Structure 1
């Protein structure tokens, strides 16, 4: 009976050890998974940067608000009717500012929806890979460093160097 108990204990111990080894093996992150994760994050960042350029242009080039200075003045007074009266805001300026606020509000939603779509798309990344790499980044600084490094490389590739573009024009 003692031999049976010992054998059972040994078998369950091996099963537990095998399961643990499989969990650890499953948590290993491949370079391909890191590259996919970095590419997804870079795509989201590129989209955000493009939308941010649109927002800045929307503020600077706004004919009603007449530039960033007036925009900042309206922004500072926005929640205070007395201040809005003091800066003599027009109905057209209110409408233009509200349009900018609406664009800003939709921006975070668009970015979030894009990221979720890319994460859910198995051809781009996939939820399991996202969760696996994200968890590994939190647990292992080396994985985070790899992802950050790849993201920096990807950003550099899509953002032409200012010096090169200036010399190309000259």
Structure 2
């Protein structure tokens, strides 16, 4: 019975392997590349937003009082003698730890965000993502075309964000009048 199961598993493996190769042999379309590029740009913008959030946490922290003090605490962190020399208070330690925790969670947050885009959104499917990823690894011209698309989409999104920020700034200025 074991031999029959092993034999069946063996052929199932080769069947799946042939299917995977057949899927990989399917050419990558411009639409596939656009979907992949969109995921990359959305992830990049997410990283920019989170980086800005971290920057604001540091610069606008009432306890730590800006970047200079943050850098002092960062340099002393983990060394009790340096912490005492820098006169880091318990309140500052707690505030710094909140920032540190946020910073340490960023990588997983980005992974979760990108995974969600690939598996749970209408932006791209897992099979298209994997097909483009394989094509990029195998063919430098596909990578070059993808990089060009990413740059183009990123420039477009950056322009949209800048315009939205200007609109928001103009509205805020009018509200202040």
Distance (whole Å) between structure 1 residues aligned to residue 52 and residue 86 of structure 2: 27
**Could you say which structure has the larger radius of gyration?**
1
Using structure 2 for the length normalisation, give the TM-score: 0.74
SS in 2 for 1:79: coil
Using structure 1 for the length normalisation, give the TM-score: 0.77
Distance (whole Å) between structure 2 residues aligned to residue 51 and residue 79 of structure 1: 25
- What stretches of structure 1 move > 6 A for 4+ residues in a row? 163-166
Q: Which runs of 5+ in 2 are unaligned?
A: 1-17, 171-177
Per-residue CA deviations over 1:25-71 (Å, capped at 9, x if unaligned) read 73411111000000011111111111111110111111211111111
Q: Which runs of 5+ in 1 are unaligned?
A: 1-18
Per-residue CA deviations over 1:76-129 (Å, capped at 9, x if unaligned) read 111211111111101111011001011112222221111111111362211111
CA RMSD of aligned residues (A): 2.6
**Aligned residue-pair number:** 147
The aligned counterpart of 2:106 is 107
Residues 1-170 of structure 1 aligned to structure 2 (within 5 Å): 23=22, 26-121=25-120, 123-160=122-159
Distance (whole Å) between structure 1 residues aligned to residue 121 and residue 52 of structure 2: 30
